[in-house]
Amino acid sequence: MFPVSLCIDFGNTNFKAAIFQSDRLVERYQFKEAEAMSTLKNIISLYNPQKSILASVVNHEQGIVSLLKENTTYTKLDLNTKLPFLNAYGSPETLGHDRIALVAGLSRQYPSQTVWQFQ
């Protein structure tokens, strides 16, 4: 059985989550902030993910982090997260977490290639 991962993106406009099994996208979700806790509980109950990663640029209910830590091996995507690429962006603290996640995915899918350059 391939490992199941829960990837979560809490942005200014949308709250999103996705379930991956190995490298395959299984399901995508989009929901409102008020629905975040119940949606994530349902996803965890349905898929029993082994790992989770949260990229958030907004203040969110802290119970969500507790839920993820209790049910998965939890990672918070931030400036200290180990990445499969060198982030040479001039001001890395201003680079959006969604962009970092995108480049991480592209780096994995296209190893040994330049996949994105930020100016």
Which sequence positions are flagged as catalytic? 98
Name residues whose C-beta falls within 8 Å of residue 116's C-beta, 6 or more positions apart in sequence.
99, 102, 103, 106
The secondary structure of residue 105, as a DSSP letter, is: H
Name residues whose C-beta falls within 8 Å of residue 97's C-beta, 6 or more positions apart in sequence.
9, 55, 56, 57, 77, 78
